[in-house]
Amino acid sequence: MVFGQKPDRRWNAERQGREAPSDSGAHSDPGFLRGERSVSAFLRGPLVLFSSSATHRWLALVVVALTTIAATLILFGPLNGQAWFFFIAKNGMRQQWVFNSGCNPNSRPITVTYDTDDPSNGSATYGALVKQVHDEWNQDGGLNINIMTDITTAGANITYYQMDVNAVNAYLQNPQPGVIRVVWDADGAVLQNLGVDPENVLGIGVPLAIDNNRPNEICSGLMILNGQLIGSLASPTSRQQYYRYTLMHELGHVLGFAHSVAGSNSSSGLVQASTQDYIPVMHPFAPSPPSLTKTLTDDEKAGLITVYGQ
C-alpha cells in the first residue's frame, strides 16, 4: 500500500506461491505498505522501488505490489467498485488459514504475539489500538469470526516476544503453526537484513505456507512494522494513526487478503472519497492521514465471512 500518491510503475505483481529458498521451512507471499525517503515526503511523494542483494533476492521477489488477479481488475474492472481479493497459491487455489488439519493442528483463534519493543508494551494507548484492530478482524460484537486472539482492555493480555534479526531469521526457518509474530523494527535492521530498504517500506505482512504440497494453506505468519519510519513522525497522533492503519492492513495480508481494486483512482495520484469509510483497508493507497476509527468496508467483511465465517 502506498500513502498519498500512487507509484508511476509497479514491480511485477504480488505473486502467489513463490517458493522460499531450499533451506527455509516455508513459502512466503508478503503484502506490504510503502512510504518514502523522508517523513515529510512519504505522505505524498513518488514511490521509490527498492532493490535487494543477491543473498536476499528470494524475499524481494515476493515483496511486491498486487496480485495478478487484482491488477487485472484494476485495469478492466468497474471504476467505482469495491471488492475483496485473496492471494492465489501456485496451485491455483485461494490462500487461506487452515485449522485442525494439514500444517496447522491448532484450532481458532490464531495466536498473535507482539515484539517486546512494540509501542503497545507498557502503553495503554497503543494497547487500545491493538485491541481495536483485533476486534475489527474478529468482528467482535457482531459476526464474531474469532479468527485471532481477543485482546482485553488496553491490551493487558498481549503476549510479547523479543524479535530481533536473529529471532526473525529463526522464525522464517521454522515457523510455528497457528501463530503470527508481529515485529517492531525500531531501527530498520530487520528489513535491511531481508534486503528491504527501511526508508521505503512501512510494513510487510507475510502469510506462510509450511507444507510444500499444500501452498494454499496458510499455517503461520510474520509481520514487520517499520518502527524506524513510523516512530519518526512528528506528532503522537500521527504515530498512532499510522501504527493502527499499518497493523490493520498488514494483518489483512497475513490472513490472505490481497490489495483491493483501485476503484476510480486508477489514473489519479490521490485517494478520492467523500469519506474514509468508503476506502477499503486493503486499498493499495492510503488516505492521509489515516483515521483512528477506520473499520473494514462491507465488501471486506463479506470476504471475511465467506472465507472464515463459522
Among 17-26, 123-132, 174-183, 276-285, where is mean pLDDT lowest?
A: 17-26
Q: How confident is the model at residue 290 (pLDDT cuts 50, 70, 90)?
A: confident
- CB 41 within 8 Å of CB 217: no
Instruction: Look at residue 78 in the predicted model and tell me its pLDDT.
Output: 33
- CB 219 within 8 Å of CB 208: yes
Instruction: Look at residue 49 in the predicted model and tell me its pLDDT.
Output: 23
CA 38/CA 51 separation, integer angstroms: 18
CA 155/CA 144 separation, integer angstroms: 19
Q: Which helix (H) or strand (E) holds 201?
A: strand 201-209
CA 193/CA 23 separation, integer angstroms: 17
Between 5 and 98, name the one with better pLDDT: 98
3-state DSSP call for residue 170?
Answer: helix
In b/e form, how buried is each residue of 251-272, taking b as 16+ CB within 10 angstroms? bbbbbbbbbbbbbebeeeeebe
Dump pLDDT digits (tens) for 111-155.
Answer: 999 999 999 999 999 999 999 999 999 998 778 899 999 999 999
Instruction: Look at residue 143 in the predicted model and tell me its pLDDT.
Output: 82
Indicate the residue type of 131. Answer: K
| Phi, psi for residue 97 in degrees, rounded to 5 | -70, 145
Instruction: Look at residue 28 in the predicted model and tell me its pLDDT.
Output: 56
Q: Would you state the cell numbers that stand for residue 25, as one nine-digit string?
A: 521451512
Whether this model's pTM surpasses 0.85: no
CA 51/CA 260 separation, integer angstroms: 25
CA 53/CA 219 separation, integer angstroms: 28
Instruction: Look at residue 47 in the predicted model and tell me its pLDDT.
Output: 22
Q: Is the predicted pLDDT of residue 161 greater than 90, yes or no?
A: yes
